[in-house]
Amino acid sequence: MKKIMLVGRSGAGKTTLTQAMKGRRITYHKTQYINNYDVIIDTPGEYAENKTLARALVLYSYEADVVGLLMSAIEDYSLYSPHIVSMATREVIGIVTQIDQPDARPDLAAMWLELTGCKKIFYVSSVTGEGVGDILDYLREEGDVMPWEREEKTDETSVDAGR
């Protein structure tokens, strides 16, 4: 599976999306430092909000195959500069989060991500799970076995072994 680094301002939903992608129960957890998991790099929002800390995002992007720019559907403004994606050395995708919120404006968030240069945009609700599977499928590489597929194969193997 391709490794993704999630970038966005505080409250955009990076850690919540990380929990949803890993199939974990959603709990609030403030990210204090960069968490480099097996296939997800979860970054603190302050790193995207502060020019000095943003340098760390550039360095950690070398650990990732894909950078995911998160934009909450309830944002009032965009944190990202237009055409910023052109400076990236990795593939960059846009991820519109919190699409389940009553005051969500996913079309506005998507427009802002398009202005950054994102060609591929995903719409997700980590709470309902909508769109999370689409991101996982996008990151999937040939031959990857997803956790839920491992369980199926284990069941088949144990049946075959009993014959």
The string of pLDDT tens digits covering residues 109-148 is 999 999 999 999 999 999 899 999 999 999 998 887 765 5
User: Which helix (H) or strand (E) is 72 found in, with range?
Assistant: strand 66-72
Comparison of pLDDT for 105 and 19, the residue scoring more? 105
Amino acid at 11: G
Comparison of pLDDT for 10 and 143, the residue scoring more? 10
Considering the entire predicted model, what is its pTM? 0.84
Mean of pLDDT values over 93-98: 97
The string of pLDDT tens digits covering residues 34-68 is 777 888 888 888 888 888 888 888 888 888 999 99
Contact indicator for 136, 146 with CB cutoff of 8 Å: yes
* Percent of the chain whose predicted confidence (pLDDT) is above 70: 86
User: Taking 90 as the threshold, does the pLDDT of residue 96 lie above it?
Assistant: yes
User: Taking 50 as the threshold, does the pLDDT of residue 85 lie above it?
Assistant: yes
Comparison of pLDDT for 24 and 119, the residue scoring more? 119
Contact indicator for 13, 7 with CB cutoff of 8 Å: no
Angle between helices 14-21 and 132-139 (to 10 degrees): 70
Instruction: Specify the pLDDT at position 162.
Output: 47
Its domain, for residue 56, covers 2-159
Total of domains in the chain: 1
> What is the spatial distance between Cα 45 and Cα 22, in angstroms, rounded to a whole number?
20
> What is the spatial distance between Cα 49 and Cα 150, in angstroms, rounded to a whole number?
39
How far apart are the two ends of the chain, measured CA to CA in Å?
33
Angle at 121 between CA 60 and CA 107, to 5 degrees: 125
Instruction: Specify the pLDDT at position 151.
Output: 57
CATH of residue 77's domain is: 3.40.50.300
Whose structure tokens read 């719409």? 123
